[in-house]
Amino acid sequence: MDVIVCMKQIPDLQQIRIKERKPILDNVPLVWGDLDKNAMEEASKIKEAVEDVKVTVVALGSDKLQQGILEPLAMGADEAVLLTDPAFAGSDSMGTAKVLAKAIEKTGSYDLIILGEGSTDNYSGVVASALAELLNLPEITYVRELEVENGKIKAVRNMEESFEVMEADLPALVTVAQEINEPRLPKFMAIRKAGAKPRHEWGPDDLGLAADEVGQNALNVETLSNLAPEQDRKNIILKGDLAERIDALVDALTKEGVLGR
Amino acid sequence: MSEILIYSDNDGTALELVSAGKEFAKELGATVSAALLGDGAAGKANDYFSYGADKVYVSEHPALGDFYVGAYAEGLRQIAESGDVEFLLIGSTKRGKELAGRVAQKLSAGAITDANAMRVRDGNLEADRYSYGGNTVASQVVTTPKKVISVMPKTFELGPSEAKQGDVVNVDLDLEDPPVKVVERRDKAGDEVNLEEAEILVCVGRGVQAQEDLAMIEELAALLGAEIGCTKTPASDWEWFSEERMVGLSGKKCKPSLYISVGISGQIQHTVGIVDSKIIVTINKDENAPIFNLTDYGIVGDYADVVPELSEKLKSLR
């Protein structure tokens, strides 16, 4: 059985600083999104539980992927496809789905495709559904428990009002929620060995895509601005002994009309 | 004439979008329609008309019985392509969000999800959404002929309703049986809190280190008539609270009149869920905690001292 995991490198969100409302991304390291790691972990668990599973990670990112890809390979992926061509840079969600679909088709065989339920940076959740549509696959999203057996999957998904237990025949696509597993931290030796695993680097030509069909040449969502929100708060730190501060707080909240209704 | 088509698996959210869609339609010179899909759809038409829909498309096709994203996306595609639909606005529930990507792909459209504000700009709808994990807000427009935008519940208020008639179009959708079956539904255990509706919200963060301290926070919340929410750690790691009480990027977006944080440092993943609060009060012993930048009234101090004192004061006022 062929399992494909799709992953994307994102800037480390904890290290983004804001200057004059603009995000400063220089020198911010690229990391794997947490949910992408959950997807990779789930593939590794399936590989351990089911016989004859091959896991291929398909990763989109910059040339920094050459180093970063060692982590999913050390977590259990057998092979990697790197989509690092600069032409892919700046793709929007639908563009990302298109490139992933072509790359997955080129791998030749896929029974189960796993993604995080959203990217950890933008959480738009569009790529997986668009990819499922492009590959004409059934999809089950927000999965917190997954079983693979006899060419079928059974998944428990976390919805607003209930947990839904769903079944589908393979091939299928699933997206996983954070609670599905705890991604393993690969050991040093596993990372060293990961360097020897096969990896392919495919650009637009390899995928049969023209330059104007990918990346920033193929955007269908335009970003007009992307700034930190303006804060308009009073920023009053109450002073005095505790009783005075509490009195001042209750006074202020009463005057604001937010207490005592 | 261009058409704004609205769908949500949650009728309350759909009606908010109909109310807002009516205002956008005036500016755009468009009409507002809604898709009513699945069992019992036909009976909902009058509600949608009363909030401003000019037309509803109705289908109770058997493939739309249980919500399967592929079937609903195909149904919406067929509706959108039969008319002059330019904008498809979807309620950004979990089902709505998965639907947005799938139907957008079918329509060769661009998609924006989780919009939390929208406005008309140059004949298009501009939508705001969080980016970089909530550090920034991106204002975006879709540039394809058909445009898909999923909008967070409660982004818009329900407008006034009036008795009004509209066109009911019974659509004859061509749909296959869903390849994914729902074999069981397990109700979530008992926590039916609705934080999005809370007028007063007290939130617990990682700074509250002992579970027994929740008692004092519960007492304060009861005195205030507040709901209790939390950041990610107390819910997913410590399991003190159900996920329904998690506030932030991966939880609820709340807009209470009064929000009180207890032991919350103010990581962006939480604060995006509370920025729309009218008044923000912070109780934190670390005066450098980032949440003070977002605070109206702050008390620098240990919650174990401040919370009981505040409760006593509130009791004395009763």
In which region does residue B77 sit, left (phi positive, over 0), alpha (psi from -120 to 50) or beta (all else)?
A: alpha
Query: What are the CA-CA distances from residue B287 to residues A17, A249, B187, B266, B280 (Å)?
Result: 20, 17, 42, 12, 15
CATH number of the domain that B22 lies in? 3.40.50.620
Q: Which CATH superfamily is domain A2-218 in?
A: HUPs (3.40.50.620)
The whole-number pLDDT of residue A141 equals 97
Domain count, chain B: 2
User: For residue A176, which residues of chain B lie inside 8 Å, CB to CB?
Assistant: none
Angle, helices A93-107 vs A126-134, to 10°: value is 50
Cβ count near B203 (within 10 Å): 30
Nearest to A223 among B93, B138, B199 (CB): B138
- Residues 6+ away with beta carbon under 8 Å from A66: A82, A84
What are φ and ψ of residue A159, in 5° steps? -105, 175
Same domain, B206 and B166: no
Note whether A93 contacts B111, CB cutoff 8 Å: yes
Domain presence at residue B178: no
What distance in Å separates residue B85's CA from the closest CA in chain A? 17
DSSP letter (8 states) at residue A159: -
Same domain, B129 and B263: no
> What value, to the nearest 5°, has the Cα angle with vertex A25 and ends A20 and A28?
135
Domain presence at residue B185: no
Domain boundary among B170, B205, B236: B170
Confidence of residue A260 (pLDDT cuts 50, 70, 90): low
Nearest to A162 among B179, B188, B249 (CB): B188
The nearest alpha carbon in chain B to A25 belongs to B132
Same domain, B17 and B148: yes
A159 bridge partner residues: none
Output the tens digit of pLDDT for each of chain B's 318 residues.
899 999 999 999 999 999 999 999 999 999 999 999 999 999 999 999 999 999 999 999 999 999 999 999 999 999 999 989 999 999 999 999 999 999 999 999 999 999 999 999 999 999 999 888 888 899 999 999 999 999 998 899 999 999 999 999 999 999 999 999 999 998 876 667 889 889 999 999 999 989 999 999 999 999 999 999 999 889 877 889 988 899 987 788 899 999 999 999 988 889 889 988 999 999 999 998 889 989 999 999 999 999 999 999 999 988
Tokens of A25: 């991304």
Same domain, B143 and B242: no
Span A3-37, pLDDT tens digits: 999 999 998 887 888 888 898 888 899 999 889 99
Note whether A227 contacts B305, CB cutoff 8 Å: no
Domain presence at residue B177: no
Q: How far apart are CA A111 and CA A57, in angstroms?
A: 13
pLDDT at A231 over 80: no
The whole-number pLDDT of residue A175 equals 97
What distance in Å separates residue B187's CA from the closest CA in chain A? 4
ipTM value for the complex: 0.91
Q: How far apart are CA A181 and CA B238, in angstroms?
A: 15
Amino acid identity of residue B177, one-letter, is: D
- Count how many pairs of residues, chain A against chain B, have C-beta atoms within 8 Å: 245
**Full domain range(s) for residue B215:** 195-316
- Residues 6+ away with beta carbon under 8 Å from A188: none
Where are the domains positioned within chain A? 2-218, 231-261
